[in-house]
Amino acid sequence: MPTIFILFGFHFMFYSNEHLPIHVHVKKGNACAKFTVFPVAMVESYGMKPAELKLIESIVEENVEVIAEHWNKYFNTSK
């Protein structure tokens, strides 16, 4: 599972067999969440606190281009 970056203990990644739309999985300990990138929106969350989800959402919003670039490079696609 390719890791895009790690911030504040959150691992931002996607799985090697992903599907569109472009999205990112975020894990910290046993908690996880999934966010779409275009538009930035939470799809699901397990064990994340509301404050953590708010922080994750803002990190995804600030890094949309970085996430999409990693996705497109890894999967050899375009947005």
pLDDT tens sequence across 29-77: 999 999 999 999 999 999 999 999 999 999 999 999 999 999 999 998 7
Whole-structure pTM value: 0.93
Whole-Å CA distances, 58 to 2, 17, 74: 21, 26, 23
Residue 78 binned pLDDT confidence (cut-offs 50, 70, 90) = low
pLDDT tens, position by position, 25-36: 999 999 999 999
- Return the H-helix or E-strand segment holding 19: none
**HSE-CB for 5 with a 13 A CA cutoff:** 13
| Domain count within the chain | 1
Structural domain for 70, as ranges: 3-75
Instruction: Tell me the residue type at 72.
Output: N
